[in-house]
Amino acid sequence: MTKAAKKPALLSGGNPQIPKGDGDGPVQAYIEAMPGWKREVGERLDALVEKAVPKVRKAVRWNSPFYGVEGRGWFLSYHCFTRYVKVTFLNGASLRPTPPEESKHEQVRYLHIHEDEELDEAQLTKWFKQAAKLPGDELF
C-alpha cells in the first residue's frame, strides 16, 4: 500500500485523524474516512451547508471539519463520537430554535445525530443560514 492510499487512523470514538488543512480537499478526506453510517451523515451535512451558504469556507482543524464565511468567522463544526456525530454550532445560543444540547461555553450549542435518526434537513438548513449571518469565531 502506498502512502497516498493509506487510510487515516481513527481516533477514539471513530473520529478520523486528518491533517490540518484549508479548503474542500481536507474536509472531503475527513468525510471519506468517517466510519460506517457516520460517513453518510458527513456527506449530507456537507451538501446541506454548501447549498445553504454560498461560498462557504472550509477547513480541517483538531481532526474536525469547520465551515465559515470570509470576514465573519467559523460557524459550524462536527466530530465523530462512538454513538453519534456531534454537530457544533459555534454561535448556537443565538439560533432559533436553539439547538438542543448545551455546552460549557455560553454561545456554543450542539446537535447529536445518532444512527438510524432521520436528519431534519429543513431545520439544519435554517440553522446553517442563520449561523452564517451571525458573527462567527476566528479560532485559528
pLDDT digits (tens, 9 = 90+) for 33-88: 999 999 999 999 999 999 999 999 999 999 999 999 999 999 999 999 999 999 99
CB burial of residue 12 (10 Å; 0-12, 13-18, 19+): exposed
Confidence (pLDDT) at 2? 47
How many independent structural domains does the chain possess? 1
Whether the full predicted model's pTM is greater than 0.85, yes or no, is yes
Residue 32 lies in a domain: yes
Unique residue bearing C-alpha cell 438510524: 116
Query: Residue 45 is part of a domain; what is its CATH number?
Result: 3.90.1150.200
Q: Tell me the per-residue pLDDT of 12-32, one tens digit each, with 9 for 90 and over.
A: 888 999 999 999 999 999 999
Confidence (pLDDT) at 32? 97
Look up the domain containing 60 and give its range: 13-133
Q: Which of 80, 85, 89 is nearest to 17 (CA)?
A: 80
